[in-house]
Structure 1
Amino acid sequence: MDNIPQGDSCNSSTSLDSDQQNIADFFRISKIFWLLILLLLTLVATPTPAQTVIRGTVTDTETGETLPSANISIKNTYRGTISNENGNYTLSIPDSLLPATLIVRYIGYHTLTKPITRETPQQQDLSLQPSVTEMDEIVVTDENPATRIMREVIRRKQQWRQGLNTYQAEAYTRQSLANDTSIVSITESISQVFWDKEQGHREVLKSKRQTANIQSSANFAGVSYLPNLYDDNVDIAGFELMGITHPDALDYYNFKLVDQTSRDDQTVYEIEVIPARKLQPLFRGTAFVLDEEYALLKVDLEPNEVVTFPRPVKSFNTSYQQQFNNFGRDFWLPIDMRITGDVKVSMIGLNFPLIRFKQLSRVSNYEINTSLPDSLYQQEETFTTDSTAQSDSLLVQRASAVPLSQAEEEAYANLDSTATLEKAFKPSGFLSRFVDDEDDEQESDSGSGFNPMQYIPGQLMPNGRFNRVDELFAGLKYEVQPFDRLTLRGNGGYSTGYEEWSYGGGLSVRWLNKNSINATVGWDYNARTSTRYTSHIYNPYFTIIPNLLGNDGYFDYYRSEGYRTFSKWDNFGPDLSLEIGFNSEDHRSLPTTTAYDFLGKSNNYRFNPAINEGRLNSLDLVAGYNINEGYNFGVTGQKYIRFEIEHSSDKLGSDFNFTRYETRLAWSFPTFYQRRLFPNTLDVGIKAGTFSGDLPYQKMGVIDGALGPISPYGILRAARGRPYEGEQYIALHAEHDFRTIPFEAIGLQPLVERNIGLILFGGAARTWGPTASHIPAQSNQTYLPNGTGGIHWEAGASLNGILGLFRVDIATRIDQPAVLVNVGVARLF
């Protein structure tokens, strides 16, 4: 199963109520959380129809002890099953195969053969005789015997894997979740799996069932999440671990022969698997190798300590047990997968109970090197559902499943729809009262309180800001979608500073939605306060608190009134977007109206500079290649390229003649330790702009710096207070996220356990213009844009992941003495 693909995984609303409601919304835990938990803990398998069913228990002949996970197969076929944790098994045999011979294998025991005919009683208990043989002496050489054995296992695997091109099989999977006291949910599936050496893995769900407290849509049991521990590379919860039979495994693992046992008359080597690279995600545990064949019979492995997750996952422990069988043929194929583990989720104010999970998967009835349906690989999805599948058909096909344990039988009998996962894993902590409680919700829904907002269609939101020009601006925004393709919007508010109303409205019509292409046309009219320069990092609302705390003002402002028409296309090519618009606006200067702040400073604000007043009519075009453009202050990496051009001339009826160009690029590259869930990454950003003609003052570009002690991703961290401005400008910034690797290497475990990492960053910027002749006159005031005055160079380091949410940046200017300490949002992914 080399290169088997695996499955992948909020819309915030503005509250009109109290801060407590905001906190409640933020920490509200919904059913989606539990869907994600179920998906995270998922990994799979399938069944086969049968006409003759036998069942029983596999035991040790001498002691009577049951033998869990015994391998039971039908001779000369790829059919079989395994016993459950109590040694119980069920096997269906098509009548066309009768009479048949069962082969029962278990490491340390003699193989048992059992003839089965149509007259054989259904109950067939199977007893195995311990295999006591003299082990061959190990010949002492210069080479570790375990290394020699594993080298041969790797060589043999490369030989027989060359002949394995495709297969399909049937699988059955059962997964359960439990808390400290009992099982709280069970999901089961029957599916058909397909594998192609070149095209990978596909699965078709045939049937599933689950305990009554789980919705069918939340049943993620499926073999598409089943790792094959014989593979070169094994995906475990997003980490790519090097398999113990990878061609380079001897460079990454140490192997130690710890014991020998037997199966029939053949020696079975028990080999300890020890990671040799402490910074790479690898396995540790035990492998059982069959002598002469040099094949893996069984592995019992767990990921090393590198396989961890960022908060709120405090711990994630798993172990994997898998057996292999060649069914007397050439290829060693997985016949089961048993996974056990636990997850601890904890954050400030919320502490969830330990979530225990268990999975048992069984794969059977292989068809090797057969033709697979072309339709399977005409779609990207690896997991689909058969249109004839029945949700509860497992109830009548119990012979296709591995028997339930007694505890699982009781869970099916006792769990009803009221036994929700939310109740089973109810958290503690001072924020736990904000977690969803179904009973509380029903009680709240049944209340008769008056809520006038429920009678207003669409979305009505407050709109407010504070700055040195508007002073206090208070207003409302409204958006409604009366029809599927039509969106209407409006806004209004009042500025107490220069004592004018702002108002506006518009509409958008989606005229095309086909083949993932969205095409929209729209029109907007606005009379408002506009910022003199546009920042893709900050918006005016972000500066409200700094303004109230005495910041001298990051933005400058002017009054604009006019309309914009536009047409926009999204996804008309792979991740491509295009927008074309026409703008017609009147621009005029605004004065500074207030110097108020909470700290009682006086005259702390800069005056608001004048602009080039007049009528601006312009055409603009914005094109982009967007994989992940949405700005999130550096929580995740970005991948996008954006190009913008704006042209204004007297031929368009404009008072201005210019063409302005701007481009932005951001890209994230994985660098070191790419087998980890979150590899080291290099993030690079470029912003550049130029112009022709006579550029008005309000159309200059900016390079963002830190807004006070706050330094989000994408800015110059050693520049503070105001952005750099210019008619022409270029900026480059880069940072390398080493994550916790440096602290792991030097043994600073307290930092590693808190997921605190190291980031190194640097940047450079340069601006040009404008000259004094291009600056608008303003009586008794002299103002020059804040340019770089040469090249701004900076470098620094960050401690990332403080309290799981923040990063602390220490930035230094290289071109002149300056050291700044800032705080930003942590890089999480």
Structure 2
Amino acid sequence: MALRFFGIILLSLLHTICNAKTEGQATIARTSDHLEIYESMSHRLKDTGLDTTRSSLKVRGTLYDSETGESLPSATLQITGTYKGTVSNAEGRYEILVDSLPSELTVRFLGYQTQRATITSRRDSVLNINLSPSALELPELVITEDDPALSIMERVIASKQLWRAGLYNFKAEAYTRLSLSNDSSVVLITESMNEVYWDREKGYREILKTYEKTSNLDDTIIPLGVNDLPNFYDDNIDILSYNVVGVTHPEALDYYEFKLLDYESLDDQLIYKIEVTPRRNLQPTFEGTIYVLAQDYALLEVNLRPSQVITFPPPAQDVSFTYSQQYSNYGKEYWLPVDSRVEGAIKIGLPGLQFPTIQVNQVARVSEYDVNTVIPTAILEKQESVSVDSLSISSTRIGEAGRVRVPLTQEEEEAYQELDSTMTLGKAFQPTGFLARMLEDPDEDQDTSGVFSDGPVGEFVSSMTELVAPTIRMDRVNGLFVGGTLTKGIGRQEEQGELALILDGGYAFHRNAWDKGLGLRMSKQFEQGLGLTAELTLHEAVIARQQLRLMPRSSYSLAFLFGGVDPLDYFVEKGWKSSLELRKSMFSFTTRFHAMQEESYLTDDLFTYSLTGSRNQPRRVNPAIEEGISNRLGFGLRVSESNGFDGSTLGFAGVNRIEADVEVSDGSLGSDHDYIRVQVDGEISLNTFYKRRFLPNTFSMILSGGITQGRVPYQRLFTLEPSTLSYAPFGVLKTQSLFPYEGDRFWKVYAEHDFKSTPFEALGFWGISKKGIGLIVFGGATNAWVSDPVSKQVMESLTPILRESQGVHYEAGVSLNGIFSIMRLDAAFRLDQADFNITLGVARYF
């Protein structure tokens, strides 16, 4: 369980952090059926240097400073006159494939003289190269009021626009490696070799040719390619799910301060070392250093990190990353990425649950460019950005068939040899804290495979695993109620669909009675995403008169248990009901018919126990209803971008949706009631400010209204739920407490603006911002009333108090959001009369 919990968090973070995307990219499709895992490392350790599948020579060696003897990491190597090259690893080691002899190898490293080495025979397969520091006399840096970096970057941006205008596409070969470490060792490695295609209009496409990984990584996880890494020469860069203005964006001078720090050299060419700092403190930007080739006003290298605005929501507590990238024009016109290096650390935790820091190291190399070439239309038309060459994967490995890696470090080589399938991520990142025990895996040595596998006990356990929505609640009529819904599939066929038996109900301990329900559900999925569900249920139960749409029933039970009032009323309903739902993508349409006998549940024997110490606390009488036969036909329409999942119900996410519900009851249906009931609910959620952020400022609003025609019975009034026990989710008025508002007509408006952490950042309170605490302002108004005087008179005879809103209820307030990463604290002021309330709710994340 710990592995599953940790893996979900870790992989989602890594996908967002390390696999940043630039403009014009499509989604990723993985095909795991064609992939094989190669666990042996012998092919690496015993390589002779000669690739026998091609007449090519694998040259390897180490790059050194000729004066100090220190190795030179991330130096670039190129087969002179070609687009073919590589980079040295963190230990200065390299390997490159030479297709013909003789060949010349050009080695460059910032601050050093370029070194050229000629490879004349196969005896040169091991070639160590020494580089000498550059002897160019650098000009003296003079600090003036007008920093020259401004004009330098203006020329870099102008130069990029010129050569980028002629770059239409390219094809290249790419190698990518991701390593994860804990405090002591490397715990995971993935490597991939891809063919990369880029088109100005279509974006990136990649074909995965082969890959390797440590054997402790799940087989369903496929390494991603360089299309998921940033190109810092792009105008806009998606990093950590923030859309960041690049340092060569046409408007970069509005977003960044550039300062000339120093001069460097490469051979006899002058290099500008420029510091990058944010000009706009509330916009997502980068900071760090960039190196500009003076002769061409082109980027040679960037070393950047996200600014402090770029943070990650819980459960990430601290995320720190640096990105490095080098460029070359290979002696031609276009400046293209040579490599990409990512180093960082991720700290994940929640109150009571802390994981060790995850160290991330990612390196990518891109070479063998073919610029402005013909790319097959079939490749560019693929919807997925990564596809799989299953034939190549099944027949070759990295290091074979003309493929070479950026050499592994010694730690990584040891990890490949030592890690096996038992060295799980759960073990490598074992959590601590009082919640950690809840995530522990069961004893792996304990054999429980046959305990419940056979016989009637096994069948019972198997059926119980299909229990859906177990129910425990408490109120003044039922006392403690324990039950739930059991759904058991009894037939599934491709053409006829799925048939399921539904058992619904539970036992009310104070009434000493069972609620009972038995039903059948048939579901079928058609082509093009069309689904159909039909359900028929027999039903006898004591149910709540008020219909809850926003407040969970459990919140009222908890308040009741602690001595609070029970705001709901109850009556007996028995009969049958049916429904038919048609859904496709964002749309669903439902028709239903209820044939019910409705009776009052009148009793003086109310449940009076509470945890506050009183066992005989007075409880409000349960009122009568308008008894009789209630046959009603209903129609519902829902359009929602959430495809059925409504995060706004708990309040942690906004959604754009609209719902309409119409209910008809009259004598022609055999009903004792004659009315039409219409309710419409809508919700909008819009990004407002700082849209480049992962979580922009958002405005959310709920609009609801209902109207009836005819005389609706007391038990079918519209309900506006109250807050309770200082809990009020999004959409519930915070200052409407204790009892619901009811009426045969109502309207409600509720809105809030989530400023996230930007107000605290603007005031310089970055510590608060980094804890994920934000500011929300909200307000709402509602009115509910009974419009028909006759209906009102009848209802007042049934209940001591008919709870209309008595005019418009207005409120406004402010919230601190993200407390302990999971809560919000609301302070609400009622405006139409003097009232104030403090409530809690689920933190608003999206």
Does the pair score TM above 0.5?
Answer: yes
Are the equivalent residues in 1 in contact too, given 2:311–2:770 (CA < 8 A)?
no
Which of 156, 161, 180 is residue 159 of structure 2 equivalent to?
156
Measure the CA separation in 2 of the matches of 1:364 and 1:745: 44
Q: 1:338 to 1:650 in 2, by over 3 A?
A: same
The residue that corresponds to 2:810 in the other structure is: 793
Are the equivalent residues in 2 in contact too, given 1:205–1:385 (CA < 8 A)?
yes
Q: 1:108 to 1:311 in 2, by over 3 A?
A: same
The residue that corresponds to 1:337 in the other structure is: 340
The residue that corresponds to 1:550 in the other structure is: 563
Are the equivalent residues in 2 in contact too, given 1:705–1:720 (CA < 8 A)?
yes
**In the alignment, residue 667 of structure 2 is paired with which amino acid?**
D
Q: 1:665 to 1:421 in 2, by over 3 A?
A: same
Give TM-score scaled by structure 2 length.
Answer: 0.89
Q: 1:93 to 1:657 in 2, by over 3 A?
A: farther
Are the equivalent residues in 2 in contact too, given 1:797–1:809 (CA < 8 A)?
yes
Are the equivalent residues in 2 in contact too, given 1:507–1:522 (CA < 8 A)?
yes
2:554 maps to 1:578: no
Q: What does the per-residue CA deviation read over 1:729-760, in whole Å, with 9 as the maximum and x for residues that have no partner?
A: 11111111111111122123442232221110
Which of 802, 823, 832 is residue 815 of structure 1 equivalent to?
832
Q: What's the offset of the Cα at 1:405?
A: 1.5
The residue that corresponds to 1:206 in the other structure is: 209
Q: What does the per-residue CA deviation read over 1:400-441, in whole Å, with 9 as the maximum and x for residues that have no partner?
A: 211111221111122222222222211222332223346x24
2:185 maps to 1:182: yes
Show the 5 A alignment for 1:359-370: 359-370=362-373
Q: What does the per-residue CA deviation read over 1:198-247, in whole Å, with 9 as the maximum and x for residues that have no partner?
A: 23222222211111222232343422321111111112121222211111
The residue that corresponds to 1:6 in the other structure is: none
Q: 1:328 to 1:464 in 2, by over 3 A?
A: same
Measure the CA separation in 2 of the matches of 1:65 and 1:26: 43
The residue that corresponds to 1:768 in the other structure is: 785
The residue that corresponds to 1:621 in the other structure is: 635
Measure the CA separation in 2 of the matches of 1:218 and 1:792: 54
Measure the CA separation in 1 of the matches of 2:779 and 2:379: 48
Larger displacement relative to structure 2 (168-177 or 594-603): 594-603
Are the equivalent residues in 1 in contact too, given 2:112–2:132 (CA < 8 A)?
yes
Are the equivalent residues in 1 in contact too, given 2:194–2:206 (CA < 8 A)?
yes
Measure the CA separation in 2 of the matches of 1:620 and 1:754: 47
Larger displacement relative to structure 2 (36-45 or 170-179): 36-45
The residue that corresponds to 1:522 in the other structure is: 535
Q: What's the offset of the Cα at 1:373?
A: 3.6
Q: What does the per-residue CA deviation read over 1:665-703, in whole Å, with 9 as the maximum and x for residues that have no partner?
A: 122111112222211111111111112222222222122
Are the equivalent residues in 1 in contact too, given 2:580–2:590 (CA < 8 A)?
yes
Q: What does the per-residue CA deviation read over 1:13-43, in whole Å, with 9 as the maximum and x for residues that have no partner?
A: xxxxxxxxxxxx8998365445445545544
**RMSD (Å) for aligned C-alpha atoms:** 2.7
Measure the CA separation in 2 of the matches of 1:610 and 1:305: 61
Measure the CA separation in 2 of the matches of 1:782 and 1:34: 55
2:59 maps to 1:63: no
Measure the CA separation in 1 of the matches of 2:580 and 2:759: 49
2:461 maps to 1:454: yes
Q: 1:457 to 1:805 in 2, by over 3 A?
A: closer
Q: 1:506 to 1:678 in 2, by over 3 A?
A: same
Measure the CA separation in 2 of the matches of 1:499 and 1:418: 52
Q: What's the offset of the Cα at 1:525?
A: 1.6
Q: 1:511 to 1:211 in 2, by over 3 A?
A: closer
**In the alignment, residue 402 of structure 1 is paired with which amino acid?**
V
SS in 2 for 1:478: strand
Are the equivalent residues in 1 in contact too, given 2:731–2:750 (CA < 8 A)?
yes
Are the equivalent residues in 1 in contact too, given 2:97–2:402 (CA < 8 A)?
no
SS in 1 for 2:526: strand
Larger displacement relative to structure 2 (399-408 or 318-327): 399-408
Q: What does the per-residue CA deviation read over 1:47-88, in whole Å, with 9 as the maximum and x for residues that have no partner?
A: x99633222222233333322111112233322111111221
The residue that corresponds to 1:565 in the other structure is: 578
Measure the CA separation in 2 of the matches of 1:557 and 1:205: 62
2:654 maps to 1:637: yes
Q: What's the offset of the Cα at 1:776?
A: 7.3
Give TM-score scaled by structure 1 length.
Answer: 0.90
SS in 1 for 2:156: helix
Q: What's the offset of the Cα at 1:810?
A: 0.6
SS in 2 for 1:612: coil
Larger displacement relative to structure 2 (721-730 or 190-199): 190-199
Which of 704, 708, 713 is residue 687 of structure 1 equivalent to?
704
**In the alignment, residue 824 of structure 1 is paired with which amino acid?**
G
Q: What's the offset of the Cα at 1:396?
A: 3.1
Q: What fraction of aligned residue pairs are identical, expressed as a percent?
A: 38
Are the equivalent residues in 2 in contact too, given 1:469–1:591 (CA < 8 A)?
no
Measure the CA separation in 1 of the matches of 2:131 and 2:507: 87
Which of 79, 82, 102 is residue 74 of structure 1 equivalent to?
79
Show the 5 A alignment for 1:408-557: 408-437=412-441, 440-443=443-446, 445=448, 453-456=460-463, 459-460=466-467, 462-484=470-492, 485-497=498-510, 500-557=513-570
SS in 2 for 1:785: coil
2:269 maps to 1:266: yes
Q: What's the offset of the Cα at 1:780?
A: 7.7
Larger displacement relative to structure 2 (714-723 or 189-198): 189-198
Show the 5 A alignment for 1:259-298: 259-298=262-301
SS in 2 for 1:433: helix
Q: What's the offset of the Cα at 1:489?
A: 0.5
**In the alignment, residue 479 of structure 2 is paired with which amino acid?**
E
Q: What does the per-residue CA deviation read over 1:89-133, in whole Å, with 9 as the maximum and x for residues that have no partner?
A: 1111334xx554332222222223334456562223233232211
Q: What's the offset of the Cα at 1:318?
A: 0.7
Q: 1:819 to 1:787 in 2, by over 3 A?
A: same
**Structure 1: gaps (5+ residues):** 1-24
**In the alignment, residue 553 of structure 2 is paired with which amino acid?**
P
Larger displacement relative to structure 2 (303-312 or 597-606): 597-606
The residue that corresponds to 2:619 in the other structure is: 605
The residue that corresponds to 1:252 in the other structure is: 255
Are the equivalent residues in 2 in contact too, given 1:697–1:775 (CA < 8 A)?
no
Are the equivalent residues in 2 in contact too, given 1:551–1:605 (CA < 8 A)?
no
Q: What does the per-residue CA deviation read over 1:783-823, in whole Å, with 9 as the maximum and x for residues that have no partner?
A: 34322222111100011122222111110111111111111
Q: What does the per-residue CA deviation read over 1:241-295, in whole Å, with 9 as the maximum and x for residues that have no partner?
A: 2211111111111111111111122110001111122222211111000012100
**In the alignment, residue 478 of structure 1 is paired with which amino acid?**
L
Are the equivalent residues in 2 in contact too, given 1:42–1:220 (CA < 8 A)?
no
Q: What's the offset of the Cα at 1:141?
A: 7.2
